[in-house]
């Protein structure tokens, strides 16, 4: 039998260690084969239960009355605006709408936990986030009507808001595209060392898109300060979560990518607020990503193009009413003597009047000049688009009696 010299053994040992290091993670070797199936399930963090009771006072040592009232009012504003604009769509006054019934706590709680200059990459059910940042009811309604006061010049579908002033990237309908974009922006923040982060919202259905997996991997390997905020509302339009994935939800994917995770009760607005605030501190201080999975339920239809009774029962929807985040916070406020029925009733009446007034006024405002369809894409309009614009000018001039030109701004 040959002899292994010390030098040779050293080389073999060095090779094995090098190979082990190149795995990208630390592990151990075993000499008995076994199949590993499943890991410890990630729990759901809850601060306030359905009865409005604070479950752990040490987690919320000081109750900020102004914050609590603001959380409640913004959730209720979102709900009232949803009711009125949903009816507007049904009346044919706007083309499309998506409500947030049951998910108000996810949006408002997370928005409150961020800094106002953290860059938001929304999906399409984050109206509450931009409202919290100061985007007005008038601005929301002008966007839904696509009138000339809409900053997007009527080029987007209703509720696809965007605002540079509010650090809120314009919503995009295709699922998942915003995830790698948010990672890229977060990487630039890391290089600038500006102590900012990005937050990207998406649903559990969008997490099945390839862009989501690419974003998770880039964020982990490049160590980017990004919050992946998943609204797990149980349905990807008509596909239930039970058919969307197997395993421990979206948060369960974090360990595979080397990303920290938090799972929170999305119907507990204070729990969402605390989880988001902690997550923000984590990503900024560690220059590392985190996944927040907010467990909630979409009580409304996916959109005005959907009839959810085709794939779920009314009984199921009704069962989730007891978890309503607005009612839960109201119970909490009552227990801590922060609720005044008379004042809240007057405020609610005033906010409804404000929304209705904005609708009436927004509907009267003319649409942008139709020529705007050619703007804001190219700095210098290409020749073929110049030709198309001229063709359209001639066409409209010739057949103007067939077009509602009085509804549009004129050159």
Query: Annotated catalytic sites, by residue?
Result: 87, 173, 302-303
Q: Which residues contact 396 (CB under 8 A, 6 or more apart)?
A: 370, 403, 405
Tokens 């923000």, residue located: 280
Q: Which residues contact 44 (CB under 8 A, 6 or more apart)?
A: 263, 264, 265, 295
Which value, to the nearest 10 degrees, does the dihedral of the CA atoms of residues 220, 226, 227, 229 take?
-90
Which value, to the nearest 10 degrees, does the dihedral of the CA atoms of residues 44, 48, 49, 53 take?
150
Q: Which residues contact 82 (CB under 8 A, 6 or more apart)?
A: 97, 99, 100, 101, 127, 300
With CA atoms as reference, report the closest residue to 280 among 165, 122, 119, 163: 119
Cα 33 to Cα 38: distance, rounded to the nearest angstrom:
16
Which value, to the nearest 10 degrees, does the dihedral of the CA atoms of residues 257, 125, 272, 307 take?
-100
Q: Which residues contact 89 (CB under 8 A, 6 or more apart)?
A: 95, 96, 97, 158, 304
In sequence order, what E strands does 107-163 have?
A: 119-121
The kind and range of the H/E element at 164 are none
Q: Which residues contact 4 (CB under 8 A, 6 or more apart)?
A: 12
Query: 3-state SS of the chain: helix, strand, coil percent to 5?
Result: 50, 10, 40
Q: What is the 3-state secondary structure (H, E, C) of 312-337?
A: CCHHHHHHHHHHCHHHHHHHHHHHCC
- Side-chain half-sphere CA neighbours of 35 within 13 A: 1
């Amino acid at each position: 039998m040959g002899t292994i010299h010390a030098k040779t053994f050293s080389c073999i040992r060095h090779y094995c260690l090098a190979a082990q290091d190149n795995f990208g993670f630390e592990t151990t070797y075993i000499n008995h084969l076994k199949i590993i199936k499943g890991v410890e399930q990630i729990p759901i963090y809850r601060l306030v239960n359905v009865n409005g009771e604070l479950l752990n006072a040490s987690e919320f040592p000081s109750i900020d009355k102004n914050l609590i009232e603001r959380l409640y009012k913004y959730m209720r504003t979102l709900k009232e605006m949803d009711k009125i604009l949903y009816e507007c769509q049904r009346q044919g006054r706007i083309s499309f709408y998506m409500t947030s019934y049951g998910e108000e706590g996810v949006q408002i709680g997370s928005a409150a936990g961020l800094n106002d200059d953290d860059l938001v990459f929304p999906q399409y059910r984050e109206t509450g986030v931009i409202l919290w940042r100061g985007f007005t009811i008038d601005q929301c309604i002008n966007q839904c009507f696509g009138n000339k006061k809409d900053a997007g010049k009527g080029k987007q579908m209703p509720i696809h808001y965007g605002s540079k002033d509010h650090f809120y990237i314009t919503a995009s309908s295709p699922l998942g595209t915003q995830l790698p974009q948010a990672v890229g922006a977060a990487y630039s923040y890391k290089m600038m060392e500006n102590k900012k982060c990005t937050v990207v919202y998406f649903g559990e259905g969008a997490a099945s898109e390839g862009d989501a997996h690419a974003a998770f991997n880039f964020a982990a390997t490049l160590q980017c300060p990004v919050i992946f905020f998943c609204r797990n509302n149980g349905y990807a339009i008509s596909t239930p979560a039970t058919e969307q994935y197997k395993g421990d939800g979206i948060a369960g994917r974090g360990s595979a990518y080397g990303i920290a995770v938090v799972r929170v009760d999305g119907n507990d607005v204070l729990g969402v607020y605390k989880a988001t605030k902690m997550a923000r501190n984590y990503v900024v201080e560690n220059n590392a990503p985190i996944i927040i999975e907010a467990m909630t339920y979409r009580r409304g239809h996916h959109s005005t193009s959907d009839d959810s009774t085709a794939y779920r029962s009314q009984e199921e929807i009704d069962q989730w009413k007891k978890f309503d985040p607005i009612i839960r916070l109201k119970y909490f406020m009552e227990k801590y003597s922060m609720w005044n029925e008379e004042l809240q009733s007057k405020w609610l009446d005033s906010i409804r009047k404000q929304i209705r007034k904005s609708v009436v006024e927004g509907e009267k405002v003319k649409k942008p000049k139709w020529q705007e369809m050619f703007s804001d894409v190219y700095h210098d309009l290409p020749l073929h688009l110049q030709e198309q614009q001229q063709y359209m000018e001639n066409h409209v001039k010739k057949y103007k009696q067939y077009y509602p030109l009085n509804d549009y701004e004129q050159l």
